[in-house]
Structure 1
Amino acid sequence: MNILILGYGKMGKIISQMAEERGHRIVAKINIENVADLDHLNTDDIDVAIEFSQPSSAVGNITWCMQHNVPVVVGTTGWMEEKEAMTALCTQKNGALFYASNFSIGVNIFFKVNAFLAKLMNEQTAYQADLEEIHHTEKKDAPSGTAITLAEGLINNNNRYSKWKLKEGEEKTEEGVLPITSKRIDPAPGTHIVSYTSDIDDITIKHTAHNRKGFALGAVLVAEWLPGKKGVLSMNDFLDF
């Protein structure tokens, strides 16, 4: 399979290596320094694109893929304010846009455990929920896309919370608001902790990534699966949860 890499930072490099190890060909590796090379690519020679760039570049990269009929797997977070517009463009162009805040199989199982626990805790008013995420210092967006997905999963399954808020220092959390604490520490591929705290006890679930390989492999597996599909797709479609 011929793969276009959009974003050639740490994740892009691991994805490229893993894709080549699985027998795929990398057509081009595009980053901010050589983005003009997109204009010279033969799109007939591209089966799928994998987009792991920066929030400021993601929308432009997705738009390019939709306009050139290239299915795209997107792992960049921090551009969700444009998700509706990109969904509309994908529909208009009859394209394929696969977005996930996290491609790790383990994290996506963690999402399901989080949603189930939120349902169980729905009537347990003695407990206050909170969420913490830890990433490396180069990560630009806070909270992380994974943390936002966890927050949305909790809110959608627990009627005691209506929104989330990034916690600043020791500020007190309003009722009905899920606080998210974001920490940036090196080295830290990613840790996410969901806690329910009461005066009597705590209930905590936690996912810790040991390296980026799980994210990269998941992205490549999705890229292998995506060609031929249409619409806006997610890990729920891929894993058939």
Structure 2
Amino acid sequence: MKIALLGYGKMGKEIELVASSRNHTIVSKIDKNFKEGDLNLADIAIDFSSPDAALSNIIMALNINIPVVSGTTGWLKDFNMVESASKKNNVGFLYSSNFSIAVNIFLELNRSLAKLLEKHNEYSIELNETHHDQKIDAPSGTAISIANDIISNSRYEKWSLNVNEKNSLHINSIRKGNIIGIHEVNYKSSGDQIKISHESFSRSNYAIGALIASEWLIGKKGIYSMSDVLNINKK
């Protein structure tokens, strides 16, 4: 598989390293400060750029019929534009806020817990996420995915970073040190609690997941997520 890297930061470099071990070739690297190789030679593009660059990067690739796997967060208000470009060019697009296999299983566990506890208002829900101090967006895309799944199956109407906002699920976002990523959800009553958490120790798990998603997307048309790759039932 010939891969174009849209964004060549920490994740782009990690994908490059893991790709070679899976017998894939990097044919193009595009970052805000440089371009290397030829995007037109790529079988697929993997986008881990920045919120301000993601939309133009993705549409650029889709418009020359190159499918895209994207893990960049912070740009989803323009998701409909990517859907339109994917449909117009009849080319596949896959987005995930987190490509870790274990995180996506964690998300499914959380969906199940939220549904099971939907009618039990004695349980309050706490959502915490911690990342390194260079991460730009807060809350993380994964935390937003977790929150939206809870909101769909609870009394909460929206999520907020403000702990005192009425009818909102509070997301506690912490930025410190070199922490790759920790997400924790706590369903708590006065008598007991259920706590689930996931912690990443390396970016390699994200890179492996992004490459698995890329291998899966080749030859497909339409819009997909990691739930499709892993055959996770979201109903």
Compute the TM-score of the two structures, normalised by the length of structure 2. 0.94
Superposed counterparts of 1:26-65, under 5 Å: 26-35=26-35, 41=38, 43=40, 45-65=41-61
Match of 1:165 in 2: 160
- Inter-partner Cα distance in structure 2 for 1:132 and 1:70: 36
For structure 2, the 5+ residue unaligned runs are: none
Which of 109, 134, 140 is the matching residue for 2:136?
140
Q: Deviations over 1:75-119 (max 9, x none)?
A: 101101001121112111111111000000000000000000001
Q: What code does the residue aligned with 2:99 have? A: F
Equivalent residue, structure 2, for 1:230: 221
Letter in 2 for 1:186: G
Query: Cα distance, 1:51 vs. partner?
Result: 0.5
The Cα RMSD (Å) is 1.4
Structure 1 residue 174 corresponds to structure 2 residue 166: yes
1:212 corresponds to which letter in structure 2? R
Structure 2 CA distance, aligned partners of 1:239 and 1:218? 10
* 1:183 and 2:174 aligned: yes
Q: How does 1:87-166 map to 2 (within 5 A)?
A: 87-158=83-154, 160-166=155-161
Displacement of 1:130? 2.1
Per-residue displacement from partner, 1:200-221 (whole Å, max 9, x unpaired)? Answer: 3332111111111111100011
CA distance in 2: counterparts of 1:153 and 1:125, whole angstroms: 16
- Residue 42 of structure 1: how far off its partner (Å): 5.6
- Percent identity over the alignment is 44
TM-score, length basis structure 1:
0.92
Is this contact kept in 1: 2:28–2:39, CA < 8 A? no
- Cα distance in 2, alignment partners of residues 85 and 163 from structure 1: 24
Taking the aligned partners of 1:57 and 1:12, their CA distance within structure 2 comes to 14
Measured in 2, the distance between the counterparts of 1:183 and 1:197 equals 21
3-state SS, counterpart of residue 27 of structure 1: strand
Return 5+ residue gaps in structure 1 as ranges. none
Aligned amino acid, residue 226 of structure 2:
M
What secondary structure sits across from 1:194 in the alignment?
Answer: strand
Matched residue, 1:13: 13
| Residues 142-201 of structure 1, C-alpha deviations (whole Å, 9 max, x = no match) | 11000011011111222x12211123xxx42413x1110110011111000111233333
Inter-partner Cα distance in structure 1 for 2:221 and 2:133: 36
Task: Give the letter for the 1:232 counterpart.
Answer: I
Compared CA separation, residues 42 and 30, structure 1 to 2 (3 A): closer
Q: Partner of 2:151: helix, strand, or coil?
A: helix
**Cα distance in 2 for residues equivalent to 1:79 and 1:146:** 14
Counterpart of 2:198 in structure 1 is 207
Q: How many residues align?
A: 232
Which amino acid in the other structure matches residue 227 of structure 1? Answer: I
Structure 1 residue matching 2:53: 3-state secondary structure: helix
